[in-house]
């Protein structure tokens, strides 16, 4: 068991703030799972620490727009360059002078769960203030198809969780789902495997603060992995954006880069829409635009974080410029695939 096991005072009340750790590979649906669970269970008295790969935290912005106070941690990943920021955020949020609230940690998609749990257990301040109630791993079926996610990190996230939430099962082919669940059970025989809808209902159901997560033994935070072959950076656009331009740009990138484009996500203010939209590409697969509700004004008309291999920032920007130019001059026709090449 983790050293962050439950302690209670003489009256039976918890002395530690309950923590839910949500992990899973890039694009596995961590943010949407949390937002849906929080919306269904509202109001939930929590603070949030949101990890993101890249120069800024898109997911943190989405939670802020939904009305949740959170700390966004950006960097290489939460268990590497983002670890110091996570520990500083948790130290502040768990300070005894702050109102007693639960804490949700959404780990960045490349983070090793065991390293995060180990870091919390090895820190005497965190051990005294926090109790992990649930370690949820979004078990994304598509991420195990030989895509861009490192396999050692996928296995670590599964093995460190007490609850495995099946995501993207609608994309399963034939008996693929049954094989996937069997593989999850082999990696972590004690974890519960649940449907996404079930997890949404129960994650913050009454009594969530008092659950006990069966956690693995973990070492100190030091570990050797570095994502040297994976690049992450942000792109901004200051001019007018339309849904058509955005869709064409994303389609071009997903077609050309394929699985080298591990993750692309962002927020855009399209001039023909009344609300901003969130956009996603995962392992070369383009997902529909999603309206973003809530307060707040976008800093830029378009903000995107791009994560992948063999990427070039200028070439990515050039594809957006081509999409913009085509819609400014409809008679120009579609650019050729050679013109969009990022090599």
Residues of each domain in the chain carrying CATH 3.30.1220.10:
231-332
Q: Three-class SS of residue 190? A: coil
Q: What is the pLDDT of residue 333?
A: 46
Residue stretches of the chain with pLDDT short of 50: 1-3, 5-12, 219-221, 330-343
* Rounded (10°) angle between helices 83-93 and 113-122: 50
CA neighbor of 104 nearest in space, from 127, 65, 137, 133: 133
The answer to whether residues 260 and 312 touch, using CB atoms and an 8 Å cutoff, is no
The answer to whether residues 118 and 5 touch, using CB atoms and an 8 Å cutoff, is no
What separation in angstroms does the CA of 322 have from each of 26, 106, 125, 196?
Answer: 28, 35, 52, 38
Q: What is the pLDDT of residue 297?
A: 56
Q: What is the pLDDT of residue 102?
A: 92
Q: What is the pLDDT of residue 225?
A: 58
What separation in angstroms does the CA of 308 have from each of 68, 171, 313, 325?
Answer: 29, 22, 11, 26
The answer to whether residues 86 and 51 touch, using CB atoms and an 8 Å cutoff, is yes
Residues of each domain in the chain carrying CATH 3.40.50.300:
17-210
Q: What is the pLDDT of residue 141?
A: 85
Token pair for residue 157?
Answer: 């996230």
Q: What is the pLDDT of residue 35?
A: 85
Token pair for residue 53?
Answer: 């790969």
Q: What is the pLDDT of residue 190?
A: 92
The answer to whether residues 267 and 223 touch, using CB atoms and an 8 Å cutoff, is no
CA neighbor of 92 nearest in space, from 101, 211, 77: 101
The answer to whether residues 15 and 127 touch, using CB atoms and an 8 Å cutoff, is no
pTM of the model: 0.77
Q: What is the pLDDT of residue 124?
A: 94
Query: Homologous superfamily of 17-210 in CATH?
Result: P-loop containing nucleotide triphosphate hydrolases (3.40.50.300)
How far apart are the C-alpha atoms of 86 and 63, rounded to whole Å? 17
For the structural domain made of 231-332, what CATH number should be given? 3.30.1220.10
């Amino acid at each position: 068991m983790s050293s962050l096991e439950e302690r209670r005072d003489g009256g039976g009340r918890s002395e530690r703030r309950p923590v839910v750790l949500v992990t899973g590979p890039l694009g596995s649906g961590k943010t949407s799972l949390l937002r849906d669970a929080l919306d269904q269970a509202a109001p939930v008295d929590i603070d949030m620490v949101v990890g993101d790969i890249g120069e800024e935290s898109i997911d943190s912005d989405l939670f802020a727009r939904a009305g949740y106070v959170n700390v966004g941690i950006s960097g290489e990943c939460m268990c590497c360059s983002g670890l110091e920021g996570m520990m500083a955020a948790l130290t502040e949020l768990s300070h005894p002078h702050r109102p007693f609230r639960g804490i949700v940690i959404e780990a960045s998609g490349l983070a090793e769960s065991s390293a995060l749990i180990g870091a919390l257990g090895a820190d005497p301040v965190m051990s005294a203030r926090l109790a992990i109630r649930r370690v949820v791993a979004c078990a994304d079926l598509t991420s195990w198809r030989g895509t861009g996610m490192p396999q050692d990190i996928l296995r670590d996230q599964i093995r460190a969780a007490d609850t495995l939430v099946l995501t993207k099962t609608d994309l399963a082919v034939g008996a693929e789902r049954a094989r996937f669940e069997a593989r999850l059970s082999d990696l972590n025989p004690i974890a519960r495997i649940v449907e996404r809808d079930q997890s949404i209902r129960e994650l913050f159901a009454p009594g969530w603060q008092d659950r006990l997560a069966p956690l693995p033994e973990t070492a100190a935070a030091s570990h050797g992995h570095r994502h040297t072959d994976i690049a992450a950076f942000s792109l901004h656009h200051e001019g007018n954006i339309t849904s058509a331009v955005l869709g064409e740009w994303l389609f071009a990138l997903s077609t050309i880069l394929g699985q080298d484009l591990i993750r692309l996500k962002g927020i855009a203010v399209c001039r023909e829409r009344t609300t901003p939209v969130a956009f996603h590409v995962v392992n070369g697969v383009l997902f529909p635009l999603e309206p973003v509700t809530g307060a707040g004004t976008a800093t830029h008309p378009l903000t995107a974080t791009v994560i992948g291999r063999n990427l070039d920032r200028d070439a990515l920007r050039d594809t957006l410029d081509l999409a913009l130019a085509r819609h400014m001059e409809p008679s120009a026709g579609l650019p050729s695939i050679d013109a969009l090449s990022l090599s």
